[in-house]
Amino acid sequence: MIYLSLFIIAFLAATLLPVQSEAVLAGLLAFSQEPWWALLAVATVGNTLGAAVNWALGLGIERFQNRRWFPATPAQLEKAKYYYTRYGRWCLLFSWLPIVGDAFTVIAGVLKERFWIFVLIVGAGKLARYLVVAAAVASSAMIGK
Cβ atoms 70, 119 nearer than 8 A: no
Please tell me what DSSP assigns to residue 90.
Answer: G
pLDDT tens for each residue of 51-100? 999 999 889 887 777 777 776 777 877 887 888 888 889 999 999 888 78
Residue ranges of E strands in 2-46: none
pLDDT over threshold 60, residue 144: no
Helix axes 115-143, 100-110, angle to 10 degrees: 160
Identify the burial level of 109 via C-beta atoms within 10 angstroms of its C-beta, where 0-12 means exposed, 13-18 middle and 19 or more buried.
buried
- pLDDT averaged over every residue in the chain: 89
Whole-angstrom distance, CA of residue 115 vs CA of residue 47 = 15
Cα dihedral 75, 51, 119, 112 sign = negative
**By three-state DSSP, how is residue 129 classified?**
helix
Identify the burial level of 33 via C-beta atoms within 10 angstroms of its C-beta, where 0-12 means exposed, 13-18 middle and 19 or more buried.
exposed
